Amino acid sequence: MEFSTMFWWFSCFLIIFLFNSLIQSFKSKRNGLPLPPGTMGWPYIGETFQLYSQDPNVFFANKIKRFGSIFKSHILGCPCVMISSPEAAKFVLNKAQLFKPTFPASKERMLGKQAIFFHQGEYHANLRRLVLRTFMPEAIRNMVPNIESIAQDCLKSWDGQLITTFLEMKTFTFNVALLSIFGKDEILYREDLKRCYYILERGYNSMPINIPGTLFHKAMKARKELSQILAQILAKRRTMKTEDNDLLGSFMGKKAGLTDKQIADNIIGVIFAARDTTASVLTWIVKYLGENPSVLQAVTEEQESILKSKEENGEEKGLTWEDTKKMPITSRVIQETLRVASILSFTFREAVQDVEYEGYLIPKGWKVLPLFRNIHHSPENFKEPEKFDPSRFEVAPKPNTFMPFGNGTHACPGNELAKLEMLVLLHHLTTKYRWSMVGAQNGIQYGPFALPQNGLPIILNPKK
C-alpha cells in the first residue's frame, strides 16, 4: 500500500475516533453524571473482536478486575453497560419501566414478534399469567407418569450406543415440551413439528440473509410451515370443544383473548425457551457426575432408596410427584450444575430512558448486560467458585447471588418443569445405567448456550 493511501486511511480512522470520543464525552456530561468506567474500543467495531476472539468469561473477568462490577463497553455495534453485582442485576431485571428486553430483529422475525420475551406491560403480564398457570407445581404434578415414560423411552434408545449427550437430551426435552404444550395429543404432531423445528433451529444463529439457499431462508420457510401445522392443531381443538389443561388450552381460553398468530408465536417461543436450555444443563450434569464418582454414588444411593422404599411399602413402581420431593441430593446436583455451568452467561436489556445507577449514567438506548456467570463465579458469593460441590447448597446462597432462571419481570416461568424433568431422567439414568465419556472433555462451546465440547459423546450401558 502506498504511503499516501495509508495516510488517508489513518486520517479517516483518527477523525472517526475523535468524533466518537467527542460524542461519548458529550453523552457522559448529560445530567452531569459520568458514564461507568471502561473502554469502548474502535468506532463501530467496539470490542466485539476482543470478546469473540477469546473465552468470553476471560473478557468479562479481566474487565471486572480492571474497572469493577459496573463498566462500559461496545459490542456488536451497540454501546453497553455490563454489570456483575447481585444488587445491580436485581435492579435492572426488576425495573421493567426503565429497562426493556431487546433482541436482534432477525431473531424476533424467526421466533415470532408476538412471543412473550419481546414484550412488556399488559400484553406481557397476560401471557405470563397463562404460562405460569400451566407450569406451576400444582399443574405439572400430574405430568410425572408421562414425563417418566418419555425418559424411559429415550434411555432405552440410547442403550449400548455411542451417543452425543446434548443431541439426545434435546430429543427428551423437546418431547417433554410438546407434552406440556399439547398434552397427550402431541404424539400425533411430534414428527412434523420436530422436522420443521430442527430446520428453524439451524438457521437461528445464521446470517439473516433471506435469499433461497441460505440457512436463514430455509429457517423462515420452516417457520411458515410450523405456523400451518399449529393452525391445523388449533382448528382440530376447536371442533372438539374440549377444555384442556395444557398450555395450548390455556392460550385458547376465551379469557386469554389471544389471536391465532399470538398463540403460534408463543408456542414456538416456549419450545425455544424450554428445549436447549434444559438439554444443556442435563448434558453438564452427566459430565459432572461422570467426573465426580462420590457425588454420583450419593445420587445413585438416594434414587435407589426411593425404589426400595416403594417396594417395601407395596407401592406401584412408577415415580410420583411425592417421590420427586424426596431427592435433596439430586436437587443440589442440579443447583450446583446450574451455578457452575451458568448456561445463560448473561442476558440483554435496553435502557428506555437515561438512568442513574450508583452515581453513573446509563444513557437511553444503551444495552445493559447482567452477567449471571460472573455473579455465580465470584469468590465473594461462592467459596472456591470453580469447584463442583453440590453440598454448598445445603445452606441457602446469599440473596440475588444465584439466578440461573433470571430474576424479576421476565424470570423463567418454566423452572419448576425444568427441575422436574431433570429429576425424573436422573432417577432412571443413575439407577439403571452407567456411562463413560469418550474423548477429551475440557473445552466449552457456545451455541448460544454453554455446552461441553462436541456435545459430550458418551457410551451408555445398562447396569448388570
Residues of the shown chain interacting with ligand HEM in the complex, contacts defined by CB under 6 A: 116-117, 128, 131, 135, 180, 270, 273-274, 277-278, 281, 343-344, 347, 404-406, 410-414, 417-418
Residue 278: CB minimum distance to ligand HEM, A: 4
CA distance 277 to 282: 9
Q: How far apart are CA 102 and CA 87, in angstroms?
A: 21
Q: Please report, for residues 95, 116, 119, 419, the alpha-carbon distance to residue 124 in angstroms, rounded to integers and kept in the order given.
A: 15, 6, 5, 24
CB of 205 to ligand HEM, least distance (A): 17
Question: Which CB sits closer to ligand HEM, 216 or 388?
Answer: 388
Question: Cell numbers 372438539 correspond to what residue?
Answer: 240
> How near is the Cβ of 280 to ligand HEM at its closest, in Å?
8
In the complex, minimum distance from the CB of residue 286 to ligand HEM, in angstroms, rounded to a whole number: 14
Per DSSP, the residues of 123-168 read HHHHHHHHHHHHHSHHHHGGGHHHHHHHHHHHHHHHTTSEEEHHHH
Cβ proximity to ligand HEM, 33 vs 352, nearer residue: 352
Query: Which residue's CB is nearer to ligand HEM, number 30 or number 184?
Result: 184
Q: In the structure grid, which three cell numbers stand for residue 126, read together?
A: 397476560
Q: Under the phi-then-psi rule, with left for phi > 0, alpha for psi from -120 to 50, and beta for the rest, what region is 456?
A: left
d(CA 454, CA 464): 29
Shortest separation between residue 306's beta carbon and ligand HEM, angstroms:
22
Nearest to ligand HEM of 132, 215 (CB atom): 132
**Which residues, 6+ apart, have CB-to-CB distance to 264 below 8 Å?**
112, 226, 227, 230, 231
- CB-nearer residue toward ligand HEM: 343 or 456: 343
Q: Cβ closer to ligand HEM: 278 or 283? A: 278
3-state helix, strand, coil split of the chain in percent (to 5) is 60, 10, 30
* Least distance CB 10 / ligand HEM (angstroms): 41
The reply, when asked if residue 196 is annotated as ligand binding, is: no
C-alpha cell at 376: 455465580
Cβ 362 vs Cβ 28: under 8 Å? no
The C-alpha atoms of residue 353 and residue 212 are separated, in whole angstroms, by 40
The 10 Å Cβ neighbour count of residue 143 is 22
Of all residues in the shown chain, the one whose CB is closest to ligand HEM is: 414
**Choice between 103 and 189, CB closer to ligand HEM:** 103
> Taking the complex as a whole, how short is the minimal distance between the CB of residue 338 and ligand HEM, in angstroms?
6
Task: Indicate the annotated binding residues for heme.
Answer: 412
Residues tagged in the binding site annotation: 412
